[in-house]
């Protein structure tokens, strides 16, 4: 949903809004809020167009998401993943995960077959 609001939170906000503004004023408040959001979006798009125009030719298709550092890193990793050896790293990661599952299964098997008496355990073990 918008602004990372879960459906339950949206319902709670709606109920609170009904209690605060009342059912008769709530539709007017919602339409005013939508009008404000529409104006903010129009202002944002206008500002983006002005910036593109000021940057000059060649920047008509400039995406402002490219200014986000996370987006830049993702694009570079996607474009050059083989150059950085990311496929090899993923393979190693999967191998380590598989080895850890095998070790866990072995330890659980040993633990299942171990005697229950505490006399056979080395000192310091619970």
Distance, in Å, from the CA atom of 99 to the CA atom of 121, rounded to the nearest integer, reads 27
pLDDT at 114: 73
pLDDT per residue rounded down to tens, the chain (126 residues): 356 778 899 889 888 988 888 888 988 988 999 999 999 999 999 998 888 888 888 777 777 777 788 887 887 777 776 666 777 888 888 999 999 999 999 999 888 887 665 555 556 565
pLDDT at 1: 39
- What would you measure as the largest C-alpha separation in the chain, in angstroms? 83
- The residue to which tokens 């979006």 are assigned: 41
Answering whether pTM is above 0.75, one says: no
pLDDT at 48: 86
The answer for residues whose C-beta is within 8 angstroms of residue 75's C-beta and 6 or more apart is 66
């Amino acid at each position: 949903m918008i602004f990372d609001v879960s459906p339950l939170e949206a319902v709670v906000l709606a109920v609170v809004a009904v209690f605060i503004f009342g059912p008769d004023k709530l539709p007017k408040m919602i339409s005013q809020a939508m009008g404000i959001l529409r104006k903010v979006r129009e202002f944002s798009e206008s500002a983006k167009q002005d910036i593109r125009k000021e940057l000059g030719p060649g920047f008509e298709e400039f995406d402002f998401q490219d200014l986000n550092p996370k987006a830049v890193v993702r694009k570079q990793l996607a474009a050059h993943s083989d150059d950085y050896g990311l496929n090899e790293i993923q393979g190693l990661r999967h191998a380590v995960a598989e080895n850890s599952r095998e070790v866990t299964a072995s330890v659980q098997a040993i633990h299942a077959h171990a005697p229950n008496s505490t006399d056979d355990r080395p000192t310091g073990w619970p």
